Chain A
Amino acid sequence: MPRGLSPIAFLILCASFALPAADGAAPARERAGYEGQGITLSVSVRTPEQVVAFYSARGFPENAVRALAEKCLVTVGMRHRRRDVVWLEPARWRFVDAGGREVRRLDRAYWAQRWEALAVPAASRATFGWTQLPESRDLLPGEPVGGNVVIEPPAGRFRLELRFATGADKRGPALRAVIEGLSCAGGGAGGAGDGGEFPP
């Protein structure tokens, strides 16, 4: 970190590396990222086609695949090279649409209820669970993590505001990053999908 800058000031960095939207039938490609303060983030928004292809290929029931494809899956990969613990807690993140409204994140409890209602088999629930980011993880130095976060698809572009507590007792300096210019399929320019691994 440059001297003279407070950790918070230095950490409020935005990264927006979205590629221009593709024209025509070709799927748009988009991957946003952030690198700083010992963490590297990559964020990709998945197309419904990718979601359907991935979960159908793993034998998910049609109604479960449909339920997922109606939502917006955001794949987040993170690598951590700090010396202290970094807390991964998606509940502390905010997805905010272009109008400043918070976008609802659909957490594991939501999906557990949904799968129960749809009578989704245990194997599919297990696989779904492992493709999601954990709700809380004390990331140790050098520990990579990757997975999906599911949100209600916002109408247009949205941003992701990430916050991370640090230190085993969460009393270290808070890390913040903002990733701008994301969009779900049908949510305006941009779109989703980078042809990368799903999930990372």
Chain B
Amino acid sequence: MVENVCQLCLSEVHAGDHATVVAFQGARAVNNRLASLGFTPGVPINMSQNYGHGPLIVTVRGTRVALGRGEASQIIVLARAHV
């Protein structure tokens, strides 16, 4: 079975899935804040909670971080695509 991995916005990753950070699209201040929290290119992320609307919760470097939907959609990751 081939794993369908492609580039997504973090906000599109399903709960329970893993993702790897690729790039940031947001404002620099936001990116810096994310970086000091552990969101650096190449870091693995686990999507703890994502209900498709509203904020979501991810686990990065052992820390649980809540992100707004807008903020999460500015983070590009590699993750499994659900058809």
Is B one of A's binding partners? no
Q: Which residues of A contact B (CB under 8 A)?
A: none
